[in-house]
A and B are shown apart, each in its own frame.
Chain A
């Protein structure tokens, strides 16, 4: 089973996770820039974080045979802090980088005017840079948040077929699908969404334009949830081809809209004499 996790925050994960993910079949991932748990107070903190997503984290991933790409944005939560909003002015120089495959994650947190401004501005940046956008739906007041999100996307210059709506569930999948956007589902170890409910959604909705992710980060989460969905799909009678479409071809098609996916990472050689292995040093 080849797996592309389209939404996972590896900065918060260990090398054990990388190893387990590789063993489970993960060969590619996208790490969206997001909130780090501790609020930041200056743009420079964001820049160091973005640089890590373009430097150190892809290096770590490559050591475990996993292709790492990222999405860059000012997240909605911190868009509310005027100390952080100058990040928006600096985004263009990040959005031209080779491994940036979307603007994201953007969207709403508390649905404030500052979030309106940041969302609209960043959808425009995606359009300007030929990038798709990863738009999450809020955890609180989700259905209303989704409606407002779709309205803002429709008013933007970015076509809905270049937008991935994430963190969907049973209550939001219908409206999201009607919008023409790609559909992302984050599978958590708690009640938000689990693999069996995901299988049920796939049964009613089908596999087209559906992406499944672990959204694993510093909170309670599981980087192997993508694999668990694949296993649950097979157990429920889906074919290997269905699983491949959801766990590999759909994320490749969506992020491929950027024209920047590079999926040819060599297999890891194993640790060399206990040192970190050399990768891409030639």
Chain B
């Protein structure tokens, strides 16, 4: 499932297993809200604001399946700015990094956080790649980086359903069509089948395959 819209507090509360987890979330959100009001005090390199400790502990307190939602909610509530997001990403576990990536569309206007997408797209961790190709990528990745992100999804098995705004960005992209066609030829030459998603995105480009006999 692609999560594009931000989670609301109500959604998340409904998903939590028990009242203990809901109480924990309530306190965590209150701490995050206080941090949003307070004048920014940069934490020392080695300690964190209390809501950031909650950010780290979300998996064990609310369940791994809810961790993305809880963490994203905390980031929104704290109105985390670019510096905070960058720090939490760099100091985060893979799960925490994923939450930062998911929160970008609602917290960062403009392309200032693209360095975090670049970092995630350099990994081979499909959980990160998948979180990096959301709406923020659709809005701010340049053409070259976006095409490589699409190709990376095909390479690592991330479903292209996870790529936000695929239709709009692929439409009329002759260079993407060329890259897809070349990739298909490489697969065919190796005697391997072609991912179904490749045909789909190639169709979306609206470009004719250069070597239709190989597709």
List the interface of chain A (C-beta within 8 A of B).
51, 54-56, 58-59, 89-90, 92-93, 96-99, 259-260, 262, 264, 272-282
Contact call B193/A273, Cβ cutoff below 8 A: yes
- A98-B59 CB under 8 A given contacts A55-B94, A93-B46: yes
Inter-chain pairs besides A90-B45, A97-B96, 5 sampled, C-beta below 8 Å = A96-B53, A98-B59, A99-B59, A275-B156, A282-B1
Give B45-61 interface residues, CB cut-off 8 Å to A.
Answer: 45-48, 53, 56-60
In the complex, B158 has a CB within 8 A of chain A: yes
Shortest CB–CB separation between residue A270 and chain B, in angstroms? 12
CB of B67 closer than 8 Å to a CB of A: yes
Of the candidates A90, A96, A99, A276, the one whose C-beta lies within 8 Å of that of B126 is A276
Q: B196 to chain A: closest CB distance in Å? A: 10
With a cutoff of 8 Å between Cβ atoms, the chain A residues found around residue B67 in the complex are 98
A117 CA to B125 CA, complexed, in Å: 37
Query: Interface size bucket, B side?
Result: 35 or more
Task: Give Cα A273–Cα B193 distance, bound, in whole angstroms.
Answer: 8
Flag B1-21 by CB within 8 Å of A: 1 or 0 each.
100000000000000000000
Decide: A90 and B127 in contact? CB cutoff 8 A: no
Question: A278, B158: Cβ atoms under 8 Å?
Answer: yes
Contacts of B80-117 to chain A: CB distance below 8 A: 91, 93-97
Closest 8 CB pairs of A and B: A98-B59, A55-B94, A54-B93, A281-B130, A275-B157, A96-B56, A281-B126, A278-B157
Counting CB contacts under 8 A, is B195 at the interface? yes
In-complex Cβ contact of A56 among B45, B60, B123 (8 A)? B123
Nearest to B192 among chain A residues (CB) is: A274
Out of B47, B97, B158, B195, which one reaches A273, CB within 8 Å? B195
Query: A271–B53 Cα gap in the complex (Å)?
Result: 36
Whole-angstrom CA separation of A277 from B126 in the bound complex: 8
Q: Is the CB of A98 within 8 A of B158?
A: no
Contact across chains for B94 and A262 when beta carbons are under 8 A apart: no
Q: Return B49 CB to nearest CB of chain A, in Å.
A: 12
A interface, by DSSP: helix, strand, loop or mixed?
A: loop
User: B64 contacts the other chain (Cβ, under 8 Å)?
Assistant: yes
Measured between beta carbons, the chain A residues less than 8 angstroms from B158 are 278, 281
Tell whether, in the assembled complex, residue A59 and residue B94 are in contact, meaning their CB atoms are under 8 Å apart: yes
Task: Say whether A275 contacts B48, CB under 8 Å.
Answer: no
Are the CB atoms of A55 and B125 closer together than 8 Å?
yes
Contacts of A260 in B (CB 8 A): 60
The reply to whether A276 and B130 contact each other, CB–CB distance below 8 Å, is: no
Q: With both chains docked as a complex, state the minimum distance between the C-beta of A130 and any C-beta of chain B, in angstroms.
A: 11
Say if the beta carbon of B155 comes within 8 Å of chain A.
yes
Asked if B127 and A279 sit within 8 Å, CB to CB, the answer is: yes
Q: Nearest chain A CB to B132's CB is how many angstroms away? A: 11
Docked-complex contact A97 and B56, CB < 8 angstroms: yes
Chain B, residues 128-162, CB within 8 Å of chain A (1/0): the string is 01100000000000000000000000011111001
23 contacts between A and B (CB under 8 A): A54-B93, A54-B94, A55-B94, A55-B125, A56-B123, A56-B125, A58-B94, A89-B46, A90-B45, A90-B46, A92-B47, A96-B48, A97-B96, A98-B93, A98-B95, A99-B59, A259-B60, A262-B59, A262-B64, A276-B157, A277-B157, A281-B127, A281-B162
- Chain A neighbourhood of B127, CB < 8 A: 59, 279-281
Let me know if B188 is at the binding interface, CB within 8 A. no
Point out the residues of chain B lying under 8 angstroms from A281, CB to CB.
126-127, 129-130, 158-159, 162
Chain B residues within an 8 Å CB radius of A59: 94, 125-127
B175 to chain A, nearest CB (A): 23
Q: Is B124 interfacial (CB-CB < 8 Å)?
A: yes
Chain B 151-187 near chain A by CB (<8 Å), digits 1 or 0 = 0000111110010000000000000000000000000
Residue numbers in A under 8 Å from B47 (CB-CB): 92-93
Residue of B nearest to A280 (CB): B127
